[in-house]
Structure 1
């Protein structure tokens, strides 16, 4: 795997436009992007998820990312979320995080995180659970990123302004 490829992660609470933003940025920069594995996984669950499901989502996200890293010709990739999400959801929904995830967090860093703000209106989705806890989860994201000593920028704004703010943050990171 080419260690010189930078990873830019698009993260944040539910309904902040992560998937849309990651695709728009990948298109803008003409780079590869890694989709959110958990979305595909959860769409096929027929029972409440378990700690093993969280482990499976961790492995799935890592496998998708690694597959993109070994095939891309870009200097960087865009990741629609990261397995930090597995930690946040495991802690919140199951009261613990699999040790495997905790061990991997410091070993698989991202070069830049764009933390999408909760200033977008909530969009209902069968896979979203907490429309009234967005401030809480924004605080959790700040805490998790600070605990990782992550390089991150909060991205707010509506519509084109949000995209422009994200592009400016990425350009600043890339030295453009």
Structure 2
């Protein structure tokens, strides 16, 4: 099982990896797409959204038994996209985010292997998206009143795990420009 949650080493690919990370409806997917377009690279879609939509179509709720398949799917997508990335891989979530949501929805539960790999997996920078944009319902999102609580939890986990992060706030353009500025610095150092 551990092998299925293992990242392809970015040292082998010489690729910068960044994660868009934070509460629901904070612009992560829009930023991921815009950054991938700007840098002419690929991005890793949020597998949990795809998985939740499939379950919803079958009128099945998500349960704690879905956490591990979601985590495996996320890493498989990441490893697949890394192969075609152009110096930079944009990730629209990671296993730390999977852990936060698992613990939130399932009373502190998250499979130990997911927590272990969430700490072991490496990224060059996290962009923690703040809650200063309007929440939008989409059929999957369900916690508009828990955004501040969730933001604090996301921030706490990044600090506790000593992951490098920058908080992005403001309009979409402000967020995009902040991300670009830090990504440009990473690319300049690497290449």
TM range, smaller chain? over 0.9
Q: Compared with structure 1, are the counterparts of its residues 82 and 73 closer, same or farther at alpha carbon in structure 2 (3 Å cutoff)?
A: closer
By how many angstroms is 1:172 displaced?
Answer: 2.9
Q: Which runs of 5+ in 1 are unaligned?
A: none
Q: 2:103 is matched with which residue?
A: 91
Distance in 2 (CA, whole Å) between partners of 1:173 and 1:6 is 7
Listed as ranges, the gaps of 5+ residues in structure 2 are 1-7
For residue 11 of structure 1, the aligned residue among 15, 21, 35 is 21
SS at match of 1:133: helix
8 Å CA contact 1:114, 1:152 repeated in 2: yes
Give 1:127 shift. 0.7
Equivalent residues of 1:10, 1:113 under 8 A apart: yes
1:111 & 1:142 partners in 2: Cα distance?
A: 17
1:148 aligned to 2:144? no
User: Who is 1:35 aligned against?
Assistant: 45
Do the aligned residues in 2 keep the contact of 1:122 with 1:131 (CA within 8 Å)?
yes
User: 1:111, CA displacement in angstroms?
Assistant: 1.0
TM-score, length-scaled by structure 2: 0.86
Over the aligned positions, Cα root-mean-square deviation in angstroms equals 1.4
SS in 2 for 1:49: coil
Verify: 1:76 aligned to 2:122, yes or no: no
Number of equivalences: 175
Residue 126 of structure 1 deviates from its aligned partner by 1.1
Question: Aligned ranges for residues 35-54 of structure 1 at < 5 Å?
Answer: 35-45=45-55, 46-54=59-67
Taking the aligned partners of 2:164 and 2:187, their CA distance within structure 1 comes to 13
Does the CA-based 8 Å contact 2:96-2:119 persist in structure 1? no
User: How far, CA to CA, are the matches of 2:130 and 2:101 in structure 1?
Assistant: 18
Once the two structures are superposed, the pairs formed by residues 103-142 of structure 1 within 5 Å of their partners are 103-142=116-155
Distance 1:79 1:68 in 2: 9
Q: Cα distance, 1:145 vs. partner?
A: 0.7
